[in-house]
Structure 1
Amino acid sequence: MAAKISAADAAAFKQLKQDISAGTLGRLYIFHGEEAYLRDFYLGQMKKKLLPAGMEEFNLHTFQPKECDPKRLEQAVDCLPMMSERTMILVYDYDLFKASAGDKEAFTALFADLPDYVCLVFICDLIEYKPDARTKLAAAIKQHGSTVKFTRQEQGDLVDWIRRRFRALDHDIDSELARYLIFLCGDLMTGLISEIGKIGAYARHRVITREDIDAVATPQLDAVVFQLTDAITGGNFDKAASVMGDLLHMGEPPIKILSVLGRQLRQLYSARLALEGRKGTGYLVELWGLRSAYPAQKLIDAARRYDLGWCRMAVSEAARADLAMKSVAGADGEELLIELLLKLANTPPKAEDRQTPQGVPYRRTR
């Protein structure tokens, strides 16, 4: 899960929304962060505010990394708007802080003297934004521009957004199922938007059901591995082996599968310890940096089917497999994963509740 949004990032994002609404957009922006859907949405809102319909070709200038240098950018800045009050310049994936010393000085001077009719936006999509706060360039960006980070949204906001998206498709979904969709497919709008489209097209009735989601949604790896551990503790070893086989057949690297499985086993162990210590979901949320109580509650529910000894054994065996996979020359990752699965299957947990929960369906993607 992503880290909490900082106060500075939240303030910059809020200010951007206010400036778009009021029509008071600034002259310089740096856009970065993993939530590409949200970034592109607000870029679209900015274009609507700044560029009259039909005049985009004359007032919108776009640069790719290889096309950008201070001289070319200055030429675009000097282009006066045509039948519009402002121009907009978009620069994609240009790393300002890796530019030459001379170019950095030129950018610093350019940012300090941007005309009021220009809105210049640097967009970090494929590259990570890593400013060097010690430089004059960073000081110029801070003084004359705004840096906006588009991060994963809080679950409450995300649930509301999911419900709005389904309503736009003439469907309704309740909050609990929206949280299930987030658990299943991740909390990035960029990925969720396509899943919502698939589910909306598949559902035959207005109200979305869990069966609709399970039928067509593509689960993320964490959700699939959660199903794997549930199958093991439910005594359904054929299902566990089938899920593992599907993951390997799809080409998921064994080291990646083991990494996710090991993390889930550690989370499960911590949930079992939480139950032993009479602690609730808040403890797990804080311990693992979870963004909501929903995955924490699923861990608590799952931990009721495991005894403490089994959890310790599972974590230890996963660690041994990880060490062997990384350190033994010529180690067969698939074979080590299968051996781990067999060890877990051959040591059934002493469960408080041996009822097998509804598993997360795993669907192979093409």
Structure 2
Amino acid sequence: MPPKAKPDTAAYQKLKKDLREGNVGNLYVFHGEEAYLRDYYLGQIRQKLLPAGMEEFNLHTISGKEFDVKTLAQMVDCLPMMSQRTLIIVNDYDIYKGDKDALAAVLRDLPEYVCLVFVYDLIEYKADARTKLAALVKERGSVVPFNRQGQGDLVDWISRRFRAMDHDIGTEEAKYLIFLCGDLMNNLISEIGKIGSYARHHRITREDIDAVATPQLDAVVFQMTDAIAAGNFDRAAAVLGDLLHMQEAPIKLLSVLGKQLRQLYTARLAIEQRKGTAYLMELWGMRSAYPAERLMQSARRFSLAWCRRAVIRCGETDLAMKSTGADGEELLIGLLMELAVKKGA
């Protein structure tokens, strides 16, 4: 598996700098997984450009389904009212699939008073570098990817959110929260709200997090393999039982378990070759060291032979689920029992 390239943050950093200095450009393309940051900085642009009470006259929005270049041109021609600028937001329109020449003509002559933002939310942004339009967007505007944030930035942000609720959280507890609930900020906001309301003391504990946070599926499956590593089959079976009771499809659970076992196998190989967490992070494209550290800790409790066999048996079970018509739950439970019994092999 080739390592993932590090995301380019230059456009994102420039946007932050420009907004601090009050320099809002004429043309932006906002895209990326981190919807919270995208919406936050779109709100910052609105706040910078639109006087309070005048948004109705100076803010123009259009959805991708309703978009046509003629309508956009009409919005561009609308002069600002009691304001220096107008803001046009186009939601979920693929600029490379329509009339590119007509769109380029509008973008080429954007007035200084216009700020035009193409927002990609439900559709993926894929630039066609071969087109003149792509070169024009790069020359006249800024394509800003809002990527998932790194561990350090997320930990700082989580700490600030808890402080706003009159709570404090340690670095390790914040990392655990990210591991348990994922690293998308919109989801973390709701989890922070639940934990902050539940906690009875100023300092947030891991027990507070476990009590009310909703873990992502990958984290729950990790708890299951961790229980196997600890020799606690009852706990592993209980976790699987809870997942099946929540009506998670066995094939989906097996897919997540398969990924977890492959990661565990590579972690064990890294230990055998005296490689550290940095190697594991690069191999799996992890943005945070915490899950890599957890994997390395867990892998130390398994033999290399067990890890290899676990990956093979997971693949064989996947094939059986898809080709034999056997009951998926029974196959998954049987695999779990086999892994637990042969843990020391």
With the length of structure 2 as denominator, give the TM-score of the two structures. 0.95
* Aligned positions of 1:40-119 closer than 5 A: 40-99=39-98, 103-119=99-115
| 8 Å contact kept, 1:171–1:200 | yes
Shift of 1:332: 3.1
Shift of 1:170: 0.8
Q: Residue deviations 1:147-174, cap 9 Å, x none?
A: 0000011111111111111111111111
Equivalent residue, structure 1, for 2:177: 181
More off after superposition, 236-245 vs 72-81: 236-245
| 8 Å contact kept, 1:32–1:128 | yes
More off after superposition, 31-40 vs 274-283: 274-283
**Secondary structure in 1 aligned to 2:42?**
helix
Equivalent residue, structure 2, for 1:334: 329
* Aligned positions of 1:271-350 closer than 5 A: 271-326=267-322, 328=323, 330-349=325-344
| 8 Å contact kept, 1:4–1:291 | no
Q: Residue deviations 1:281-328, cap 9 Å, x none?
A: 2222222222232111111111222122221221111111122233x1
| 8 Å contact kept, 2:28–2:142 | yes
* Aligned positions of 1:76-225 closer than 5 A: 76-99=75-98, 103-225=99-221
Give me the whole-angstrom Cα distance separating, in 1, the residues matched to 2:337 and 2:23: 63
**Secondary structure in 2 aligned to 1:239?**
helix
Shift of 1:331: 4.2
Give me the whole-angstrom Cα distance separating, in 2, the residues matched to 1:65 and 1:292: 35
| AA in 2 matched with 1:335 | E
**In 2 relative to 1, CA 323–236 (structure 1 residues): closer, same or farther, beyond 3 Å?**
same
| 8 Å contact kept, 2:161–2:192 | yes
- 4+ runs of 1 displaced by more than 4 Å? none
| AA in 2 matched with 1:89 | I
Aligned length: 343
| AA in 2 matched with 1:190 | N
| AA in 1 matched with 2:10 | A
Give me the whole-angstrom Cα distance separating, in 1, the residues matched to 2:43 and 2:5: 26
Give me the whole-angstrom Cα distance separating, in 1, the residues matched to 2:248 and 2:29: 35
Equivalent residue, structure 2, for 1:356: none
| 8 Å contact kept, 1:5–1:151 | no
| AA in 2 matched with 1:131 | A
Give me the whole-angstrom Cα distance separating, in 2, the residues matched to 1:329 and 1:45: 56
Q: Residue deviations 1:226-255, cap 9 Å, x none?
A: 111112232322222221122122232222
Is 1:227 paired with 2:226? no
**Secondary structure in 2 aligned to 1:31?**
strand
Give me the whole-angstrom Cα distance separating, in 1, the residues matched to 2:58 and 2:276: 56
Give me the whole-angstrom Cα distance separating, in 2, the residues matched to 1:251 and 1:110: 51
| AA in 1 matched with 2:83 | S
**In 2 relative to 1, CA 216–127 (structure 1 residues): closer, same or farther, beyond 3 Å?**
same
| 8 Å contact kept, 1:232–1:240 | yes
Give me the whole-angstrom Cα distance separating, in 2, the residues matched to 1:206 and 1:154: 26
Give me the whole-angstrom Cα distance separating, in 1, the residues matched to 2:277 and 2:194: 32
Shift of 1:4: 4.8
Give me the whole-angstrom Cα distance separating, in 2, the residues matched to 1:332 and 1:111: 57
**Secondary structure in 1 aligned to 2:203?**
coil
RMSD: 1.6
Shift of 1:348: 3.0
Give me the whole-angstrom Cα distance separating, in 1, the residues matched to 2:233 and 2:106: 64
Give me the whole-angstrom Cα distance separating, in 1, the residues matched to 2:201 and 2:179: 23
Percent identity at matched positions?
Answer: 69
Shift of 1:3: 4.4
| 8 Å contact kept, 2:4–2:282 | no
Give me the whole-angstrom Cα distance separating, in 1, the residues matched to 2:101 and 2:318: 48
